[in-house]
A = this chain, B = another copy of it.
């Protein structure tokens, strides 16, 4: 039996990463293609296997080393009923599969208690307190992801249409959004993916004096404050807000919450490796 091997895996729709450590030593990191276990489990399996094989090879190891490894995978969508188990049995090794929000919390707070709000393309809120973890939101673009960049971009585009039909007065941001969504926002939106809506947020933030931008920013801040209350965050406790939109909005939080803010200690991948190291 060789040295102990710990492996963390982080996977989602835009890519996957693998972190490998031998005998508690430094981390080897590799990255691979999209790993959406819900929409493309076979593709996710292949991407993870490839990134894992590369990480092992970088340390002169083969797949046989996995028999002794402790592995934690944080994967987007693993929270949906049955998905984690369904994906785990595809893997040719024993892995502890959790939702990526769990590894994100572990990475951001290095296992300490506190709250993580993630406002990226999607959004979720997760909190560890009294040893228990509570997770709210993060139900995806169509039914949830309140306060996310995709949600904010869609809201901005909806408001631009209210300018178009005269419900709102002309606004430079509305004009820029219509120009960015050819041939017309309604047609553009039919094919747009969450990432496309999220890109519109860049335009929103280039028009800070626009009333529509102010409404969108207020709505995102409201969703962030509501989500923190709903997940149970208490003033004075550690709070990390990550994701592109989260980083932009942290400084705009009300004083009481802003005082709790701290930068994330690590990434979801770091959290996955931490959780692997904690496995028996």
A→B interface (CB under 8 Å): 38-39, 80-82, 134-137, 139-140, 142-144, 154, 157-158, 161-162, 165-167, 183-187, 189-190, 192, 230
Contacts and interface: CB of A to CB of B under 8 A. Distances in A.
Given A136-B167, A165-B136, A165-B137, A143 B230 contact: no
Contacts of A82: 183
A138 B184 CA distance: 14
A81 to B, nearest CB: 6
Chain A interface helix/strand/loop/mixed: loop
A80 B139 contact: no
A184 B158 CA distance: 27
Contact of A161 (B144, B154, B186, B192): B144
Contact of A140 (B80, B143, B190): B190
B185 A143 contact: yes
Identical chains bound together, number = 2
A184 B137 contact: no
A140 B38 contact: no
A139 B186 contact: yes
A57 to B, nearest CB: 36
Contact of A143 (B134, B161, B167): B161
Given A143-B157, A143-B158, A154-B143, A187 B135 contact: no
Contacts of A165: 135-137, 139
Given A142-B154, A143-B157, A144-B161, A80 B186 contact: yes
A240 B91 CA distance: 60
A139 B167 contact: no
Given A81-B183, A184-B80, A187-B80, A139 B166 contact: no
A157 B38 CA distance: 20
Contacts of A139: 158, 161, 165, 185-186
12 contacts: A39-B190, A80-B186, A80-B187, A136-B165, A136-B166, A139-B165, A139-B186, A142-B186, A142-B192, A143-B157, A143-B185, A144-B161
